[in-house]
Amino acid sequence: MVRSIVLMFEVHQPYRLKRRFPLNLLKNYLEGRLDSLELMKSLFDHDKDRKIFLRVSKKCYIPTTRILLNLIEELSTKCRISLSISGIWIEQAKKYSPETLDVFTEIVATGCVDLICQTYYHSLASLHPDGLEEFLEQVMLHRGLMRDIFNYDPISIENTEFLYNNDIASSVYRLGFKTMLTEGVERVLGFRSPNYVYRAYDCDLRLLLRNCRLSDDIGFRFSDRSWNQYPLTADKYSLWLRNTPGDLVLVAMDYETFGEHHWPESGIQEFLAWLIRRCIEQGIEMLTVSMAGLKYEVRDIYDIPPWHTISWADIEKDTSAWLGNLMQKRCFEMYTWIEPYVKAIGGEYLNYWRLLGTSDHYHYMSLKTGGPGEVHSYFSPYTNPFEAFETYVEALTFLIHSSLVEYREHVSRYAWRLRLPPRMSFQFYLTEGVHTGYSARGLDDLLRLLDVVPPESLVYHIRRGDLQMWISTTILWPELSHEIDRVRKISKIELLVRELKRIVESARTP
């Protein structure tokens, strides 16, 4: 018999893109009457976001949270839940429904709610080909937001859609998190049960694994009249829990399950209230994520190499919900390519880039059929995946164009902020195939390495035009490249290196 239940609810709404590019605004932009940031803002369908947020607040967020507040008052500290609230959900709550944010603040203040950290933008940052730097930045942004809004410092974390692998686990453990949530995937577990605490590979991060069947019985099957267990009652479900072997059951799903995915008329909100009462009556302890992670001993290691990343999405439980077809993959390649330039600019360009990294945009482009296809279609504001692809490409293309225009207009400032990924860095060789062990990810690195790299290597690259090409096509500063190319004709090595350093130093904007 299971001893504890952990209820964790994901609270998230994306910023949706408009289906049609605003050609009248594009005309104004091209004629100089509208700046790029104003046009970028207009690509998002704020009217639709507001209507959806207000509708879901009325049907789900406010009534469900008030039900939980009443239960906490009735049952005291015996009623405990965990919430993972995206940063962009909080942004929308502030703009569209402060009352909704107030009720969430009220329930967190009871002390019976554990806030779970996640990526601020509910993004695919952990899937970036160049590492986890952006993922960790968004985690820190979200952690700061939880402190600012709720005066809460999370010690537990989940990644977007429960995306997980060993590298992700190690990175969040180094940030001080104690417990992480992910999916209990059958092909990984084998004979093992998800209903125990596990440990991440190669670090002491505790893991709670979502019980997929029991979670989806509520999340997807509650209103399904063709289901052989319909109708699902609190008595029936609590009995299932009671007869489930293990230490604990993690039941995790979208918060919108309670009033939006299943409408209030279905009885879903009453089911939640009575389920909590029945669990407590039957001696099933309600724990938060953080409590459960520390209460039970670790039973085994959950080993997920980066090349086998898992998630809670679809039947496959992998990354295919977002990067499973060519449209999704090509969009993500474009999206990650522009990252260093957008980060060099910062400000609203970086914000819009991160908004385009929200997982929902890629979820809409899925070509899956059957049950998973129905789920993707249900959440999508588009008529088909190709319309989602076209809409996203238009927005991303404009962001890339406007960002590069801004970067080039102020290249002497932004180029010094540019921090390239290793694959785009400049590699120093003595001769072909003989690497020096040095590489430059930007102009600061280059300037520092001019005193370290063997002069023969600098001469080798200058004579061949390698450094000039990198500065022109990757740093995107052809004017500096032309200046550097002038030293190619200097015969003495010492003079060539000295002049090269002078040119690079003089290019730095005070």
Exposure string of 356-385, with b = 16+ CB inside 10 Å and e = fewer, is bbbbbbbbbbbebeeebeebbbeebbbeeb
Taking the C-alpha atoms of residue 271 and residue 157, their distance in angstroms, rounded to an integer, is 27
What is the DSSP pairing of strand 285-286 with strand 4-11? Answer: parallel
Residue 373 Cα to chain centre, angstroms:
22
DSSP track, 342-366: HHHH-HHHHHHHHHTTBHHHHHTT-
- Residue spans of alpha helices (H) in 287-442: 289-295, 320-323, 326-337, 339-345, 347-355, 359-363, 370-379, 385-409, 411-414
Catalytic residue (choose from 134, 158, 161, 183): 161
Contact 223, 269 (CB under 8 A): no
Contact 148, 386 (CB under 8 A): no
Contact 442, 73 (CB under 8 A): no
281: annotated active-site residue: no
Contact 39, 25 (CB under 8 A): yes
Taking the C-alpha atoms of residue 113 and residue 116, their distance in angstroms, rounded to an integer, is 10
Residue 280 Cα to chain centre, angstroms:
35
Say which residue the tokens 């290196």 belong to: 497
User: CA–CA distance from 351 to each of 271, 348, 399 (Å)?
Assistant: 39, 5, 11
471 contacts: CB under 8 Å, gap ≥ 6:
477, 478, 480, 481, 484
Which residue numbers are catalytic? 161
